[in-house]
Every structure is written in structure tokens, then in C-alpha cells.
Amino acid sequence: MSESGSSGRVQPAHAGDPSRIGPYRIVGRLGAGGMGTVHAGVAPDGMRVAVKVIHPSQAQDPHFRARFRREVEMSSRVAGPYLIPLLTADANAANPWLATEYVAGPTLNQQVLAQGRLTGPGLYAFAAATAQALSAVHAAGVVHRDVKPQNVILTPSGPRVLDFGIAHADDDTRATHPGATTGTPGWISPEQYRTGATGPEGDMFAWGALVAYAATGRPPFGTGAPDAVAFRVTSGEPDLDGVPVPLREIVRRALSKEPGDRPSADDAAEECFELLAAQLIQAMRADTLFTRAEDMITAVWDMPPVDDPAWPKPARRGRRPWAGMLVVAAAVIGGLAGGVVALMPGKAESGRHETSDASSVPASSAPVSPAPLSSVPASSPAGLPKPSGASAKTGTKAGTSKKREQAVSGGPASAESWAEARPARGEGEHDVARAVLHDQGLLVQELGDGIDLTPRSVRFHVSREEVYLSYRLSSDEPGTVYAETEVADLMCRTLRDTVLRLHPDLPYRTYVMVKETTGHDPQVTWDDDFLTGARCASAADDALNPSYAGLGWEPDEQGLGQAMVPSTDSAEIDVADRATRRIIERTNGMRGTLGTGRVLGNAELKMGFDPGRSAMYVWSDYRTWNQEQAAAWADMAAGEACRALVRQRDGAGDAWPYSRYAVAERSGSGYLMIRWGTAGTLADCPV
């Protein structure tokens, strides 16, 4: 399944593709191959996943199914910072499947074809990271068996090896009959060609070919007919011209014909990290100290965040007045209960859209106030709160809790404390850094040019319990300055979600943003508690504490677009049909109050579902109501929607996933969200 999940490119789903696999909603395809199909999926919490489904023909083979079950169990043991681990699997399904975390980035193959070979310290980092990944695989008793350029993704945080779907326990060294092979020509070891034997040594042969390809841009045994490539592998010498001399010896040994002459993955990783350290000493100050080998990867790796527009976009966090989003219309209806969010028209009539990345990019109730005051123009765009008190001495946000200041030594965050911070270490911190860079990459794409981030932007200060994000502004336009509030808001929420949901054992409690400007000292622009700050309330709280249900959630154009796509779920259809008929009946019964000139029906009053945020939307395409009439109709519709959700939940229990409702009205320029809430009990629903 080469290229599975690579580069972030999501292909449209094919006719007959499932809409859901296990807990994952399928939004498209990532690739296909001899083993099966890789689907793009979204977890209930918004996490992006790659779901690999085995071909039906292989699923009918009981021996294959037994081996698949064993491989899943073995692969679940594998973990490391440069791997894409298994999340879950179902070996007993009609067509067995497994799911892994989705990561965006080009494969090594795509990168070399598009940009050329890897050079400099980045090449040494690639060799060290991939060797360490295989070391973790082998330590768990697993053999990868398909190491090749298409199975290494170059993410912003480093190379990551994927595809354990055809991995095998290392004592299963004769998976095929002698002379038969499973793998890709050019990346198969001589012994596998000769006898079909596979083992860690075969992975290391493929690793040597992988590093040679990264360094030269060509396979070391050439291309052509499979038989010709096989002959060169078993009888010829590799072409290593162009591999840097320091790396050439370790690569040459990895490509030895005899398995026993090859280095282990652990030895190769250690040797490559030593070579990388020598590169860093030449490129950086001689006194640069790295306390962890992985820090060297972070120091030199430079791969920009990428994403695919076919994936769900992050929900917009509240109103962005500088983007021209119906500010006037929002002000007109600003007195309506629950507030108003101005939305652009949905474009989902042609087919179901993908959901928002709900857990990573929750909706916002208010932007974070920037500091210092001098960085904000005197004339603020309408609707954007101006910053409140800032410390003139440090430029950090005033009002940091005394408890927080007492817990952290050294006073407020500063450029000095940022300089003391270090790159991510360990699985938890790497997860945090990846989440921040992923979400911020999406946001920067949405905002356009103006804010620059790098993979080295996220740093950690353990004793101060702080996570730092450094950035640069490529423009001093007012819109760019205000875009900083979006970055800060998302930083706060991403950390809250990632730490609370995935790594509550991490000590971090505060996020700090540092602006770097050429010719000036770094400046701390935000310093806030992401665990207790009200602005960071998010969808993560719903799962962690039911009392938070609904806080931090606002309907948005992505959710409305989802709701506008016809559902194929029988329960959703049934609930929507009953609730819509009730809303239509009551709307027509209010004709005198609403001033409706004609009887309304399904053409004007509609209902649908957003699975990604567990929300039911009701919307009206009737445009002639005034403010009071729209408010009266929205109150009624919200009550009916709420009661429909409660009754269905009481009848179906946990099988019914929807707990939120929103009511929208079509305006001349888009949809206005008028009412929204969380369905608790019937007594809580609007009358």
C-alpha cells in the first residue's frame, strides 16, 4: 500500500466505499495496493486516521486472517518518535482492518522526485531517525518487511516510518516458499530473493538502500525489469556514488550480501547519530549541547507543514472582522440569546463533506488579548476586543495567577526563559509538538501569508511548566497583527486538548508565545494558563467532565455544511423527519406572529447532522422575517430540536451520538447562527 497517507492528498471515495469503518467516519481514500485499500477517516474526537482494509479475497483465507491477527498483536507493541503506531484494529471483521494515526507530509519518494535528494545535516538526520525507527520495530520482535521510500513520510517533526500491515513476527522467517518474495523490487534483500527468508537483517538491507536513495536520488541497484533488478541485488555492487563519505561506510555495510555482515538497527542508529553530531559541531557553535539524541533531529530538520484541502478544515474560531464576515449583520441580531455567529453559505449539496478537525481545532468563544499595547493599531477593526493591561517591563499579559507565579521560579516568562527551553523529548512532548505544528499549519494556511513557523518553533521548559511557540511576522499589516490572536487562541486550545486528553501526566500548564524580529530582541507576546483559562474551554472538556458539556462549542459553517449533506443513517433520517415535520407544523401555526405570507414546508425549513461535532442543525431559507420574528422562530425551533435529541437519546442510549443543536437563518449574504445549546433533559430545553 505504497503512498498510503502520504503528502496529505485525500482522493475522493469510490462507489461502494464504506461511510464508516469501526468508530471512524470515512471521508475519502489515501491509497491502495496489493494488500487492500487505505481510507481517510475521522475519529469521533476529530483525529485524522488512515484506515487500511484488507482485500476481500485475502480476508477469505483463514490462514491470512490468523496471520493478520497475530501481526496486529505484534505491531501494537511498537512505539517510537519516528514511527506511525497502530491505533486500533478488527481482525474479526468481514474485511479485517487496522487504523493508524494520519500524518501529513510527502513520502521520501515524492520529495526526491519533486525537490531532489536530501543534503547536509538533514540527510544525516534522516538516516539516524529511520534507523532508530527500525530499532524500535525490531526491539518489539517485529520485522517490517516493506522498508522503501514510499513508506517513509517526511513530516514537519521528522521522518516517520509507516505501514506495519505486512509486518511479521521475527521468528516467521519463511513466510513464503523458497524463491518467492513479498515486497518491492530494489528494496528486497538478497537472502529473500534466494530463499524467501525475512528478518531484521533484511530490513537493514532495505534501510541501506533507502539512505542511498535519499542521498543520491536514485535506487542503488538501478531500475528496470524486476528480474534485472533482482540480479543486481544478488550479484552486483550498489551504486553509492554521491553518498557523502561519512555515511558511505555504514550504508555499504548495510547493503552487504550476507545478512551477518550488516549492522543492527540499533548500531546503525548510534553510528548515524554520531555522524549527525559531527555535522552539527561544524554547522553550529562548538559549545552547543544536546542532552538527547532526538534533539539533534529537531535542530536540523526543516520540513514545512503541509495539508490537503480535501481534509476537513479547522473550524473558524469566532468572528474575524478583518475577513469581512457579516459583522454588520451580527451586530443587528446581537441581542438574540446565545449570540450570533455569521456564516458563509454552505456548499455541501453535491456530496458529504469531511468534518472539521474538532478535537484539534475547537471553536472559540473569544480571541486571546495580545500584548504589548504598542503592537495594536489605534483603530481596531469592529468586533475585535482591544488588549487589556500589559506589563510594560516584560510585554507579557498581565493577570497571570499568583498561584502560577508562585509555582514557577524565576518570575514571568521572558526571552531568557525561552532561550533556556529545549525541543521535545519523549513520546508525550513529541505528540504535543506535532499537534501544535499540525493545527497551526492549518491555521496559517487559512490566514494566508503573514506568520511564519518552523518545526523548531515548539519548545519546552520543564521547571517552569511552560510550552513555548516562537514565530515571525512577515508583514506588519493590521490584519497580520490581529491574526496573532488567532494563533494564540489555537495554541491555547490545542495544548489544552492534547495535554488533558492524551498526556495528563505532563507537567505543563502555561503556554508562552515569542515573536522573533530581525534586528530586535525576541519578545514575549502571550503568557497564559491553558488549563484554567476560560478562553481555552474546548470540546476536550466534554469527554473529561460532563459538567463542561457544551462549553466552548459554537456552530460554524463547516458543521452546517455537514448538516446540509443528505444522511444515509436510518436513525438520523427518522429523527430529522419527525422533528422537521413538527417544526414545519408549529412554524405555520405561528404565521400571524411571524408575518409569514405563505405556508412553509421542506423547501424552506430543513434539518441535518454534523457527525464530527455531534450536532444537529435546523435552518431556514425563508428570508423575510425581521429580528423579533427570527428570534421567536429560533426559540421554537431550538426547543423542538432539543426535545428530539433528548427523546432519541433516552430511547437509544449511548448508541445515539448527538447532544448539541443549532438554529440558523439564511440572510442575504449567508447563514446566521441564532440559537445553539446542549440537550440535557426535557426540562432544560427551550419552551
> Would you name the residues annotated as active-site residues?
146
Secondary structure (3-state) at 29? strand
Helices (H), ranges, 365-514: 402-407, 415-420, 426-447, 478-501
Q: Are 201 and 191 in contact (CB under 8 A)?
A: yes
The contacts of residue 96 (CB under 8 Å, 6+ apart) are: 53, 54, 59, 65, 68, 69, 89, 90
d(CA 506, CA 509): 9
Reduced 3-state DSSP string for 135-147: HHHHHCCEECCCC
Phi and psi angles of residue 78, each rounded to the nearest 5 degrees, phi first: -85, 130
The answer for residues whose C-beta is within 8 angstroms of residue 457's C-beta and 6 or more apart is 436, 437, 440, 469, 470, 471
- What is the β-pairing status of strands 142-143 and 168-169? antiparallel
Name 117's Cβ contacts closer than 8 Å, sequence gap at least 6: 123, 214, 215, 216, 217, 242
φ, ψ for residue 154 (rounded to 5)?
-95, 95
Cβ–Cβ < 8 Å for 342, 668: no
Q: Specify which residues 98 forms β-bridges with.
A: 52, 89
> CA–CA separation, 665 vs 630, rounded Å?
8
Separation of alpha carbons 28 and 31, rounded Å:
10
- Give Cβ neighbours of residue 323 (< 8 Å, ≥ 6 apart): none
Alpha-carbon gap, residue 671 to 107, rounded angstroms: 40
Pairing of strands 615-620, 660-666: parallel
Classify residue 172 as exposed, middle or buried by CB count within 10 Å of its CB (0-12, 13-18, 19+): middle
Contact 41/51 with Cβ under 8 angstroms? yes
Q: Which spans in 77-119 are helix H?
A: 108-115
Helix axes 293-300, 120-139, angle to 10 degrees: 140
H/E element, 3: none
Whole-angstrom Cα distance, residue 314 to residue 558? Answer: 8
